[in-house]
Structure 1
Amino acid sequence: MKSLAVFILFSLLASFSHSIELDFCVGDLSLPRGPGGYACKDPANVTTDDFVYTGFRGEKPTTNIFKNHLTLAFSNAYPALNGLGVSLARLDFAVGGVIPVHSHRTSEILILAKGTIIAGFIDTNNTAYYKKLEVGDVMIFPQAMLHFQVNVGKIPALAFVALNSANPGLQITTSSLFDGNLPTELAEQITLLSHQEVMRMKTLFGTH
C-alpha cells in the first residue's frame, strides 16, 4: 500500500513537472498531429506573431443556410494554443441566425458581446437548459452536451467562446446527418423522417 501511494505521488509530480517542462510549444503544422497535439515548432523560428491571432477582426458574412459565421481559433488555425488545453471561437449571427445543435469533446463557456440570443443545452435526460442572454452575460455548456444558440433580437449578434482543449472538435448534428455519406435509407430510419424530407435536407446541404 505504501509503495502504491509513493508510485501515485511520483506519477502526479511527474505530470506536474511535464506541464512546465517547456515555456511553450507552438504547433508545427508541417508535421502530422498526434494524440497529444502537434510537435513543437523549433523555438529558434518562433516569433511574436506566433502568439497573436487576428482572425477575429472585421465583419463576417452571415449568408449561409443558418445565417451565421463561425470563426474557429483551434490549434490548427492558432498554433500557439498547441498543448495549452484551450481554444476560442467567434460566433456571428444575422437577425434570425442560429448556431444549430452541435457538440464538442469539451466544455464551452460563452460570453455575449452584442445583441440578444437564446442559448441552451440538452442533457442526457433530455432536459433542456436554456435562457435569453443579454450583452455581458456568460453561459457554460458542459462537456459533450448538445447545445445551440439563436439570435432572437432585432440586430445582429456576436459572441465569443472558449473551450478547454486546443482541438475540441465540432460536430453539427444536421450536417452530420445530411452533409456526409450517410445513405438516404439509413437517414430515414434513424431520424423517422420521410424520404421527401430527407431528400430536401440533403439538397439543402448540397449532397444530392
Structure 2
Amino acid sequence: MAVPNPLARADYLLAAHNHRQLPPDGGFEVAFAGRSNAGKSSALNALCQRNALARVSKTPGRTQQLVYFDVTPPGTDREARPEAARYLVDLPGYGYAKVPQDLQAHWQQFLDGWFGSRQALRGLVVVMDIRHPLKDYDRQMIGYAVRRGLPAHALLTKADKLGRGAAGNTVLAVRKELAAAYGDTVSVQAFSGESKQGVEEARAVVSRWLDL
C-alpha cells in the first residue's frame, strides 16, 4: 500500500523580505537553496506532487524572498501551538538573478541573520544541476548548514539528462568531496523531477527532518 505523501498538503503561506514578516520561530522548517536554473522549483513541485506550487520561471532567479509553504498536519492550530507548525522554505535563487547590488546585499544580510538564528530550521536541501555540481554558491550554502550543526542534503537534479553510469559517477564524486570536507553531515543523491528518479528518497529525507 502506498504511503501518503505528507508534503502533498503544501500550501503557500507567505513571502518574507525581512525578519518582521517571518512566521513565529517555532516548529520545524526545511529550507531549499539552489543557484538559478538548478531546478529548485521543479524539485519542490515534484516532492509535493503539485504542478505549480513553486513557480517554475523561464527567467531564472525569480525567487526574491523567503517563500514559506505550510505542511502543518491538518487539525493543528498553529496560532495556539507554533511549535507544531511545519514549513518548507524556498530561498532566493542566485546566479542569473539580475538584481541591483543593494538588493543582493540586503538578501545576503537577511539570509545570514536567518541562518544564524532561526531555531526552527532543521535541515537544508541544496539543489544543484548534476551536470554542474558544487559551484561556489552551493558550497557556501552547505557551509552555512554545517556551521549551524544542521544536516544538509545535496539534490543533484536533472539526472535524466545524463546516462545512468555518468549520473552514478557524479554522485560518487560529489559524495567523496563533501565527505572529505564535512564528514557524514551531508547526504547526496541523484534526482529528476521529469522522470521522478529519487523523488521518494528525497521526500523521505525532508519528511524525517520535519518529523512528519
TM-score range, shorter chain: under 0.3
TM-score normalized by the length of structure 2: 0.26
- TM-score, with structure 1 as normaliser: 0.27
Between structure 1 and structure 2, the one with the greater Rg is 1
More strand by share: 1
